Amino acid sequence: MSDYPNLLAPLDLGFTTLKNRVLMGSMHTGLEETKDWQRVARFYTERAEGGVALIVTGGMAPNKEGGVFPGAAGLFSDEDIANHKIVTDSVHAAGGKIAMQILHAGRYAYGKGCVSASAIKSPISPFAPTELDEEGIEKQISDMVTAATRAREAGYDGVEIMGSEGYFLNQFLVTHVNKRTDRWGGSYENRMRLPVEVVRRCREAVGEDFIIIFRLSMIDLIPNGSTHDEVVQLAQAVEAAGATIFNTGIGWHEARIPTIATSVPRAGFAWVTKKLMGKVDIPVITSNRINTPDVAEDVLSDGCADMVSMARPFLADSQFVAKAASGRGAEIAPCIACNQACLDHTFSGKLTSCLVNPRACSETELLITKATARKSIAIVGAGPAGLSTALTAEERGHNVTLFDGSDRIGGQLNYAKQVPGKEEFHTLIDWYETMVATSSITLKLGKRVTADELTGFDEVIIATGVKPRDPAIPGQDNAKVCSYIDILTGKVEAGDKVAVVGAGGIGFDVSEYLVHQGESTTLNRARWQEEWGIGDPEDQRGGLSPEGAQPEAPARLVTLLQRKNERLGRRLGKTTGWVHRAVLKMKDVEMIGGVNYESIDDSGLHISFGETRENPTLVEADTIVLCAGQLPERTLADALAAAGTPCHIIGGADVASELDAKRAINQGTRLAAAL
């Protein structure tokens, strides 16, 4: 029997059958906006070939006013329908099914002319919406119905109507945004009229044999959000109006509680979906932080849902289902929920990709083909850059030897995994270990290779990473000074008062590590919920606990410093930086910018402010941790240059500034694809 009997069981929808219980959730990739329809088709088709039962596209605007941003894609013309048909035909040819998401952003639309229930601006957009009148509401319904019928014409198997995450339909449901006194506002019956009407009219228009998924906000995580009883009341009305499946939405975008970040416990909200089970008769899908087949199987066998939705895991590995079904679950490239190449890109107007898999959304451009000539390739450094180069080169048929001075692979990932909330880095290193072990790569660990030993290879690749930058603070040879590596490897136990020099990604990580004590709350859902103030939506409106956030007391008094005179953490990930800042705030970390580091002595770190070095201040500290950024580690590259041996330099050894695993893996994969 399969390891995943629930996950791989078919789901009979009456007029059609889904081949398993896995839905690829909607993601805005930016691909549709490229208008390169072969590229869009290839992206979805690879996922269909990988065995996912049903794909939901990124959100398509039903009209101009409902688009997430000006120019957002939608089915507005016959040409659009023909283009989308390229995608649906290709997915069907691969044996897949695909539904189009209809996304009306309401007051989340990033542009003038946005509309909503009432003229109340959202905290995450500078644009105030116009309050719709009766005629305006009818137009929105009618445009959504038109989008559904056009989706059917374009060959889609169904639509997903976005009713969660604080978008347009969700905005009508809560008094937080809906202040109307007409038949679309006031009582809950009135407030839920719009989503029910949209589903009813869509069903009427598309006929019976067409999937309508309704994305239901099961926990709003905002003040004055819906209660669980209201969610159930809406669900039952939406079912009666003709929905085929419910998908779960968790939290409005304006909620100040993380819902998909890497520090969210795996399947951390499946318990919320479970509350709907048995209260409706159509299948229910759960979502959020489900990233392995084992987690998905557990969620289903616990009766939390009939199906699981995973979105980002299908960027990391298009073959997720096929690998799970063939007993190769350990070979699934894991989504580590970092958002670095997906959501951070989306919100910066860049095309989506994946830190772990740079081919995501570049399937027609980044081709990994068999090499015409088999080369012997030496790669020095088994961090993310070296590993991705080695695996890609080996996949292409090259003869690869991978060296590292350490006794384990992973490089800097081994430090990241020590940080509470970054446990997924263990998963990534485990995956690299599996993939190297199942490959023909010759792995030479504990081997500090010299330039002399690198002769005789066809290609030499230097991926030796980074070394910590020396901030050269007078007195830093004091015994209380150490590097972030000493802290994260446990070599140095910090004292009660700690000053952290440098507030980049690592300064933040180290501060989180230092204020934390005991088990990571990411591994303890109940504690994590308390920490963020998540309550039970059956008892509290919106699922916000009346006690608010209840963080544990900080393990140490930490002061985090930087020289730049700007908000600390401003350059962290666009969609996750706020989580890191909130954690440190909860733990009373003092954040000081605009400093000069004057000196270090037995009393602590002496700083001053501004160009005139005014306001001399002592930051009392038992331990001072240096996190002042990185420099390329090029000792070996320089020796090779001196010996006249040509080499490629990649990752941190190439450019250290703001190095991250995304750039390292992308660079390594692309180099290997071209060798």
Which residues in this chain contact ligand NAP in the complex, by CB under 6 A?
A: 469, 471, 501-507, 509, 562-564, 572-573, 627-630, 658-660
Nearer to ligand SF4, 148 or 664 (CB): 664
Q: For residue 387, state whether it binds ligand SF4 (rule: CB under 6 A).
A: no
Contact present, 160 and 26 (Cβ < 8 Å): yes
Beta bridge partners of 498: 558, 623
Does residue 114 touch ligand SF4 according to CB under 6 A? no
Cα–Cα nearest to 177, from 217, 142, 135: 217
Q: Distance of CA 584 to CAs 336, 499, 519, 581, 595, Å?
A: 21, 14, 17, 5, 19
Is residue 650 within 8 A of residue 459, CB to CB? The reply is no
* C-beta of residue 127 within 8 angstroms of C-beta of residue 112: yes
* Min dist. Cβ of residue 507 to ligand NAP (A): 5
Q: Give the one entry of ligand NAP, ligand SF4, none that residue 585 binds, where binding means its C-beta sits below a cut-off of 5 to 8 angstroms depending on kind.
A: none
Nearer to ligand NAP, 222 or 336 (CB): 336
Helix (H, G, I), strand (E, B) or coil at 275: coil
- Nearest in space to 265 (alpha carbons), one of 530, 582, 536: 530
| Nearest CB to ligand NAP, comparing residues 304 and 659 | 659
Q: Which one of residues 72, 237, 316, 515 is an interface residue with ligand SF4 (CB under 6 A)?
A: 316
| Min separation Cβ 532 and ligand SF4, Å | 19
Interaction partner, residue 355 (ligand SF4, ligand NAP, none; CB < 5-8 Å by kind): ligand SF4
- Considering only 272, 324, 341, 661, the residue that binds ligand SF4 (CB under 6 A) is 341
Question: For residue 604, what are the β-bridge partners?
Answer: 601, 620
Q: How far apart are CA 535 and CA 545, in angstroms?
A: 4
Report the residue number, 68 or 342, with the smaller CB distance to ligand SF4: 342
Q: How far is the CB of 411 from ligand NAP (least distance, A)?
A: 11
Q: How many residues bind ligand SF4 (CB under 6 A)?
A: 14
- Which residue type occupies 51? G
Closest CB 630 distance from ligand SF4, rounded Å: 21
The answer to whether residues 45 and 38 touch, using CB atoms and an 8 Å cutoff, is no
Residues 6+ apart with CB under 8 A from 170: 106, 163, 164, 217, 220, 249, 252
Q: Please select the residue that binds ligand SF4; options are 339, 392, 401, 521, rule is CB under 6 A.
A: 339
Whole-number minimum distance, CB 355 to ligand SF4, in Å?
4
Q: CB-wise, 102 or 341, nearer to ligand SF4?
A: 341
Please give the structure tokens belonging to residue 674.
């071209």
Q: Which region among 17-25, 329-337, 525-533, 595-603 touches ligand SF4 (by CB under 6 A)?
A: 329-337
What element of type H or E holds 60?
strand 54-60
Name which position in 336, 377, 473, 653 contacts ligand SF4 (CB under 6 A): 336
Q: Which of residues 352-371 bind ligand SF4 (CB under 6 A)?
A: 354-356
> Distance between CA 217 and CA 250 in Å, rounded?
6
Report how far residue 604's alpha carbon sits from residue 588's, in angstroms, rounded to the nearest whole number.
19
DSSP codes of every residue in 313-324: HHHH-TTHHHHH
502 contact, one of ligand NAP, ligand SF4, none, CB 5-8 Å limit per kind: ligand NAP
Which residue in 44, 156, 167, 597 is the catalytic one? 167
167 is annotated as an active-site residue: yes
Determine, following the binding rule CB under 6 A, whether residue 335 of this chain makes contact with ligand SF4: yes
Among all chains, which residue has been given the structure tokens 């048995």?
278
Question: Which residue of the chain is nearest ligand NAP when measured via CB?
Answer: 504
Candidate list 206, 296, 338, 583; residue touching ligand SF4; CB under 6 A: 338
Assess contact for 237 and 246: CB atoms under 8 A.
no
Does residue 340 belong to the site contacting ligand SF4 (CB under 6 A)?
A: yes
Site map for ligand SF4, 417-446, x if CB under 6 A?
A: ------------------------------
**What is the spatial distance between Cα 403 and Cα 46, in angstroms, rounded to a whole number?**
33
The token duo for 185 is 């506002």
Q: Sheet harboring 481-483: ordered strands across?
A: 481-483, 623-626, 497-501, 557-561, 590-592
Question: What sections of 281-407 are H helices per DSSP?
Answer: 293-301, 313-316, 320-325, 343-346, 384-395
Rounded to a whole number of angstroms, the minimum distance from the CB of residue 504 to ligand NAP is 2
659 binds, among ligand SF4, ligand NAP, none (CB under 5 to 8 A by kind): ligand NAP
Provide the token pair at 51.
């065995």
> Binding partner of residue 563 among ligand SF4, ligand NAP, none, CB under 5 to 8 Å per kind?
ligand NAP
* Shortest distance, position 323 Cβ to ligand NAP, whole Å: 27
290: contact with ligand SF4 by CB under 6 A: no
Q: Taking the complex as a whole, how short is the minimal distance between the CB of residue 315 and ligand SF4, in angstroms? A: 4
Is residue 160 within 8 A of residue 56, CB to CB? The reply is yes
Q: Which is nearer to ligand SF4, 226 or 346 (by Cβ)?
A: 346
Q: Are 445 and 411 in contact (CB under 8 A)?
A: no
Q: Which residues are the active-site residues? A: 167
Residues found near ligand SF4 in the complex (CB under 6 A) = 312, 315-316, 335-342, 354-356
